[in-house]
């Protein structure tokens, strides 16, 4: 399929930027309310992170991907198979920077063709430029605002869309149309893998947060020294000559008077917003600004090569959900956190991910606070919940002779994936003997591990001094990288 893409003769490293183009416009706000609802209903299925796939599907037909070799150059886009005349959609809201039908190399067989570059903005407020190439019948102009899923053009005779992303506004060589760049450019001219970028940078959309939960506390007289910390509100009342200090549990509402000598903890003014009640009421109100963010993994020890299903939720302290809130799944790599994927919460505040670990991994979920929040819903970032997942190894059933001579050495072998260091300790063999119809533990031996290409081989020699039915299984104890793993049993007879 890559050859089909090459047939269009795209050699954009040689293209010249236009002599004069319109100044780059700033990004526009995402559609909200009823407008957003209608757009989502009429547009192609969104891709990961809330973006729309520019050809309406993530099946790219096996066409050339990011950094595919092109002689001395590398391809800096993802080609997406689509027949001539297929619609091309905007991946998100944005503003057209360049729209032209006469770009060299973007027509069939290297002729002039259509190219659109749009400035989009991520939920974190980062601008990037997306290039939609090999198009015709352009429907948008320079400076025009576009919305997510809007039809921009159609695919021309090249039968595929050339889609690239450039996060920086400065292009190396001053060429925003580059389709391939020299291999010697370490940063690939500023271009990034477009599919990976969209998966890890959620799209700005119609974020909706519940109002801050409020607890109103009625007091006998005007309260003094009032505030809250760790789910409890405190205040002082003076009746007569003796002041008293009180506490109320915010979730449950239970009140108590503080004992003599008992002092309230320092108040958390970041998490809690407090204010006096409006007259004629006497007391104060406490608003909790800290969301509740959860993350759970199932299973925490998946089979080798299997995915872990991660379920998260984002609500406020009153269990009211956040809608279309940006969240990011991250993994700990050394002392740094690396982005795995990003998504938006559902109507129930839930969000889901799939992750396939190859080693023991610590994962966390982060809430991406919008740059601007509604006045009634000014939340703070919650502590990111952590989960640890560790894959099991793939441990084949031990191979043993069907019949073993009494007292004679017998070789027991098997394979282990992934590759482990050679030596003893990674695998042990547990042997059981059948006695009066019941299997009973009889012997445990260490197996020797050796290299076997993509994995390892294990082997051990055993001598058994009792005749009858026997069985053996391989066990990989939990280690720093993998969960404990046990193979199925293999039976044999000692004669």
Q: What is the residue-level pLDDT of the chain in tens, covering all 495 positions?
A: 444 444 465 433 333 233 233 222 222 222 222 222 222 223 455 555 678 899 988 888 888 899 999 999 999 999 999 999 999 999 988 899 999 999 999 999 889 999 999 999 887 778 999 999 999 999 999 988 888 889 999 999 999 999 999 998 888 878 999 999 999 998 899 999 999 999 888 876 667 899 999 999 999 999 999 999 999 999 999 987 778 999 999 999 999 999 988 999 999 999 999 999 999 999 999 999 999 999 999 999 999 999 999 999 999 999 999 988 888 899 999 999 998 887 888 889 999 888 999 999 999 999 988 878 888 999 999 998 999 999 999 999 999 999 999 999 999 999 999 999 999 889 999 999 999 999 999 999 999 999 888 899 999 999 999 999 999 999 999 999 999 999 999 999 999
> What confidence score (pLDDT) does residue 15 get?
31
Supply 314's token pair. 């984002």
Q: Domain 2-200 - what CATH class?
A: mainly beta
What pLDDT does residue 343 have? 80
Convert the pLDDT of each residue in 234-258 to its tens digit: 999 998 777 899 999 999 999 999 9
Degrees (nearest 5) of the Cα angle 274, 277, 278?
Answer: 135
The rounded Cα 207 to chain-centroid distance in angstroms is 18
pLDDT, residue 374, reads: 87
- Residue 460, pLDDT score: 95
The residue extents of the domains of the chain are: 2-200, 214-288, 292-389, 394-494
Q: What is the pLDDT of residue 49?
A: 60
**Burial call 97-126: b when 16+ CB within 10 Å, e when fewer:** bbbbbebbbbbbeeeebbbbbbbbbbbeee
Which residue from 175, 105, 106 is spatially nearest to 136, judged by alpha carbons?
106
The fold of the 292-389 domain, in CATH, is: 2.20.130
394-494: CATH, from 1.10.274.10, 2.60.40.10, 2.102.10.10, 2.40.50.140: 2.60.40.10
88: buried, middle or exposed (CB in 10 Å: 19+, 13-18, 0-12)? buried
Amino acid 46: pLDDT? 53
In this prediction, residue 58 carries a pLDDT of 84
For residue 47, the model assigns a pLDDT of 58
Phi, psi of 144 (to 5 degrees): -80, 140
| pLDDT given at position 267 | 98
Residue 330, pLDDT score: 93
> Can you say whether the dihedral through the CA atoms of 37, 42, 46, 51 is positive or negative?
negative
pLDDT in tens, 118-154: 999 887 778 999 999 999 999 999 988 888 889 999 9
Q: What is the pTM of this model?
A: 0.63
What's the half-sphere exposure (Cβ side, CA atoms, 13 Å) at 163? 27
- pLDDT at position 186, please? 83
């Amino acid at each position: 399929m890559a050859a089909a893409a090459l047939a269009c003769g795209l050699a954009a490293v040689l293209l010249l930027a236009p002599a004069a183009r319109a100044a780059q416009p700033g990004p526009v706000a995402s559609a909200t309310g009823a407008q957003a609802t209608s757009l989502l209903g009429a547009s192609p299925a969104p891709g990961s992170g809330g973006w729309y796939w520019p050809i309406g599907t993530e099946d790219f037909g096996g066409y050339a991907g990011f950094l595919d070799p092109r002689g001395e150059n590398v391809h800096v886009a993802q080609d997406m198979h689509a027949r001539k005349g297929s619609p091309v959609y905007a991946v998100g809201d944005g503003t057209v920077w360049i729209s032209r039908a006469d770009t060299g190399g973007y027509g069939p067989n290297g002729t002039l063709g259509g190219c659109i570059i749009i400035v989009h903005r991520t939920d974190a407020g980062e601008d990037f430029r997306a290039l939609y190439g090999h198009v015709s019948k352009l429907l948008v102009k320079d400076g025009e605002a576009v919305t997510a899923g809007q039809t921009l053009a159609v695919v021309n005779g090249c039968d595929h869309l050339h889609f690239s992303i450039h996060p920086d506004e400065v292009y190396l060589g001053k060429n925003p149309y580059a389709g391939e760049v020299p291999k010697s450019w370490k940063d690939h001219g500023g271009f990034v893998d477009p599919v990976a970028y969209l998966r890890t940078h959620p799209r700005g959309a119609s974020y909706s947060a519940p109002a801050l939960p409020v607890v109103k506390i009625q007091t006998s007289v005007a309260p003094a020294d009032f505030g809250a910390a760790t789910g409890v509100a405190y205040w002082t009342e003076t009746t007569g000559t003796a002041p008293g200090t009180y506490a109320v549990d915010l979730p449950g509402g239970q009140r108590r008077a503080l004992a003599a000598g008992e002092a309230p903890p320092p108040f958390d003014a970041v998490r809690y917003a407090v204010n006096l009640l409006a007259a004629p009421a006497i007391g104060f109100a406490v608003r909790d600004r800290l969301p509740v963010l959860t993350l759970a993994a199932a299973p925490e020890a998946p089979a080798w090569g299997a995915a872990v299903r991660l379920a998260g939720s984002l609500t406020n302290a009153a269990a009211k959900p956040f809608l279309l809130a940006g969240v990011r799944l991250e993994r700990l790599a050394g002392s740094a956190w690396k982005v795995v994927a990003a998504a938006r919460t559902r109507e129930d505040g839930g969000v889901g991910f799939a992750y396939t670990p190859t080693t023991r991994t610590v994962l966390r979920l982060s809430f991406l606070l919008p740059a601007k929040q509604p006045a009634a819903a000014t939340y703070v970032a919650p502590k990111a919940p952590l989960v640890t997942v560790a894959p099991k190894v793939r441990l084949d059933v031990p191979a043993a002779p069907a019949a073993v001579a009494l007292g004679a050495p017998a070789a027991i072998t098997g394979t282990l994936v992934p590759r482990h260091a050679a030596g003893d300790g990674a695998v042990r063999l547990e042997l059981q003997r059948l006695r009066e119809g019941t299997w009973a533990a009889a012997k445990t031996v260490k197996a020797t591990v050796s290299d076997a290409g993509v994995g390892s081989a294990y082997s051990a020699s055993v001598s058994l001094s009792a005749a009858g039915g026997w069985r053996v299984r391989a066990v990989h104890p939990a280690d720093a990288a993998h969960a404990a793993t046990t193979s199925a049993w293999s039976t044999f007879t000692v004669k």
